[in-house]
Amino acid sequence: MERNTIKRIAGLVLLGLSVCSSVSAHVIVKELDNISKTDAALIYLALGFKHILPLGFDHILFVLSLFLLSPKLKPIIWQSTAFTVAHSVTLCLAAYNVINPPSRIIEPLIALSILYVAMENILSPRLKPSRIGIVFLFGLVHGLGFAGALAQMGLPKNAYFTSLIMFNVGVELGQLTIILLAWFLLAKWFANKPYYRSRVVIPLSACIAATAAFWTIQRIFFV
């Protein structure tokens, strides 16, 4: 790889990290207006991924909750697809100011969605057909949460739509990474064991539910 190419990639990585960590991200986004659409797309792809791994702990718990009840790849991919379609819709609508609900409403709803799915894992011994619809509805809410984070970072004017789409792709790649890691670490070894539900699904879902309940109270009364 040529030295100039290495420097270019390193510069893009540093700029992306600056957007993530800056207190005033919109100032740094102005620097992105001076680079190509391809470079902006790569930066926002990385930002979308990073918003899930490692920064999106609440979204990680939601995806894990979806995975636990039925760890087979086909059902979880269908749920992930429904979730992705839904959050893509609200993310785009919010980015173009079609809808703009306040974060004080969205953040507690995100916590409640995690609590609901985790409790369903505990109370339901099998995956219900209605789960897809529920996941889609919750995806609409999570998309508004993604939009809030994206609004804080800003989008470059010369690659607004491209950056928006690539951010969403990065989010999806982060979700798929969680699913594949969970499958390899849990389902591959334990999903067919008779104790999988009693020793894996219920305890982990209970921990997730407790965390989500705490977040719900915190976000309603203390934020």
- Sign, Cα dihedral of 74, 75, 79, 80: negative
pLDDT digits (tens, 9 = 90+) for 1-50: 455 554 554 455 555 554 444 433 433 455 666 777 888 888 899 989 99
Tokens of 198: 């009693």
Instruction: Say how many residues make up the chain.
Output: 223
**9: Cβ–Cβ under 8 A, 6 or more apart, which residues?**
none
Q: How buried is 110 (Cβ within 10 angstroms: 0-12 exposed, 13-18 middle, 19+ buried)?
A: buried
Tokens of 141: 């809410």
DSSP state letters, 113-141: HHHHHHHHHHH-SS--TTHHHHHHHHHHH
pLDDT digits (tens, 9 = 90+) for 92-151: 999 998 998 898 999 999 999 999 999 999 999 888 888 999 999 999 999 999 888 888
Alpha-carbon gap, residue 27 to 41, rounded angstroms: 18
Query: What amino acid occupies position 38?
Result: T
CB 187 within 8 A of CB 54: no
Tokens of 110: 């995100």
- Sign, Cα dihedral of 91, 92, 94, 99: negative
Query: What's the predicted TM-score (pTM) here?
Result: 0.85
For the segment 193-219, the average pLDDT, to the nearest whole number, is 95
